[in-house]
A = this chain, B = another copy of it.
């Protein structure tokens, strides 16, 4: 009689619907893209009724925000796990950082779409915690750029913020083109990222190779301010 027997006890109360929802949604979204996710299908997959999710997420938008936030966490762990290597010189470290950024975008396209796509940011409202996550992410990038600039690898003629905006915008543009199917070859995109890094970095920068390796964290202003 019972429809779902995954637990032999009755499961009118699911136990951890919130967690199951984000998990299943992430999975569905990764398989078929953001637009293909429907609340009804999601509920069906998890094994609850159509409107049960609305008791844990005010909106479909709220669900998407939660997943985007998860994306930022995921991205941070992936990127940080790669780039804390003091044995390599700075530019190589930066190149690896660029690569890991692109790789994250191409391996988690749906998350990436949510994190930086218009579906959340444009008309819809990003949840407060999501805004904070995005802000922190940009701040990390800014710190990295500031460090490169102070070591003489990036132009001193521009403000660190502007440099961060442009360099990140570049990286983002390449990832977007790859994710949107305009650039189809992932290896090409990786090389484009490296080329961009090469072009931005000052050629004759004779900065010190291994400085500090524990970057100080300065405060940064918002990505969208002048």
Which residues of chain A have a CB within 8 Å of any CB of chain B?
33, 113, 116-118, 121-123, 134, 155, 157-158, 162-163, 165-166, 169-174, 176-177, 179-185, 187-188, 191-192, 195-196, 198-200, 223-226
Contacts and interface: CB of A to CB of B under 8 A. Distances in A.
B180 A174 contact: no
Copy tally for this chain in the complex stands at 2
Given A118-B180, A134-B182, A176-B176, 16 more contacts: A113-B118, A116-B180, A121-B182, A155-B199, A162-B191, A165-B188, A166-B170, A166-B174, A169-B170, A169-B173, A169-B177, A169-B192, A182-B223, A188-B226, A191-B226, A199-B199
Name the residue in A33, A122, A169, A177 with the highest tally of chain B Cβ atoms < 10 Å from its Cβ. Answer: A169
Contacts of A225: 185, 188
Contacts of A223: 182-183
Contacts of A199: 155, 158, 166, 199-200
A177 B170 CA distance: 10
Given A121-B182, A123-B33, A192 B173 contact: no
A220 to B, nearest CB: 15
